[in-house]
Amino acid sequence: MKIRLKGVPIVVSAPSGAGKTTLCRLIAQKYKGISYSVSATTRPPRRNEKNAIDYFFLSEEEFKRWIKKGNLIEWAKVHKYYYGTPKKTFEETLKKGYNIVMDIDVQGGINIKKLFPYGIYMFLLTKNVDILKKRLTKRMTDTKKSIKERIKNARKEMQSINEYDYIVINDTIKKTLDTISAILIAEGCLIERNSLIIKTFKKNL
């Protein structure tokens, strides 16, 4: 399916465990015009995570160097680690007319919104808190302490939900992808995103 979006940042934030990484990857797979933004982090890789594919895994020293050099369009400290979006790829992707889907935390989402108010901002949630807790426990890649930390952070992140345009409940992957597709299709049909086609149509009428 085609979406009528060009050069638009698509931000997906959610409490940890709501399933956003999988979804963001699937969105990028489903749409040719959307690429996935690979972040940099100081968090150690989890099992199966690969450098430059899942994240650019950096030492704290390297990360701070990236900040200093202006290599990141946004960055934030989340659950004790640093996370940030590489600026060059981000800018080049948008410049080429591709859209970029970003799995970033609320602080990052708010910062990107300040820079790109025309972006699309979605907040993903599970149906209830129990499901979120179960998912975090099931993942088993996090220690008990870090799970608690993530729940605490979720409480804080929920306070910024009004900064976002859409709430998406992560049900089955298929249903959730359908909801996101509907949002992207509708966003692509907004009058304000179609000034060129409108102008051309008026000129040739």
Please report, as ranges, the residues that interact with ligand 5GP according to CB under 6 A.
16, 39, 43, 74, 76, 78, 83-85, 103-105, 107-108
CA geometry: angle 119, 18, 111, nearest 5 deg: 30
Residue nearer to ligand 5GP on the CB measure, 83 or 121: 83
Q: Are strands 9-13 and 99-103 parallel, antiparallel or unpaired?
A: parallel
Q: How far is the CB of 108 from ligand 5GP (least distance, A)?
A: 2
Residue nearer to ligand 5GP on the CB measure, 84 or 188: 84
Residue nearer to ligand 5GP on the CB measure, 84 or 119: 84
Q: How far is the CB of 69 from ligand 5GP (least distance, A)?
A: 16
CB atoms within 10 A of CB 64: 14
Residue nearer to ligand 5GP on the CB measure, 6 or 113: 113
Q: How many residues does the chain have?
A: 205
Q: Name residue 44's amino acid.
A: P
Residue nearer to ligand 5GP on the CB measure, 82 or 188: 82
Question: 3-state secondary structure string, 92-159?
Answer: HHHHCCCEEEEECCHHHHHHHHHHCCCCEEEEEECCCHHHHHHHHHHHCCCCHHHHHHHHHHHHHHHC
Residue nearer to ligand 5GP on the CB measure, 103 or 187: 103
Residues 123/14, Cβ–Cβ less than 8 Å: yes
Q: How far is the CB of 35 from ligand 5GP (least distance, A)?
A: 14
Q: How far is the CB of 190 from ligand 5GP (least distance, A)?
A: 26
- 3-class DSSP state for residue 74? strand
Lookup result for tokens 């020293």 = 61
Q: How far is the CB of 201 from ligand 5GP (least distance, A)?
A: 39
DSSP 8-state symbol, 59? -
Q: Is 172 left (phi over 0), alpha (psi -120 to 50) or beta?
A: beta
Closest-by-Cβ residue to ligand 5GP is 108
Q: How far is the CB of 47 from ligand 5GP (least distance, A)?
A: 13
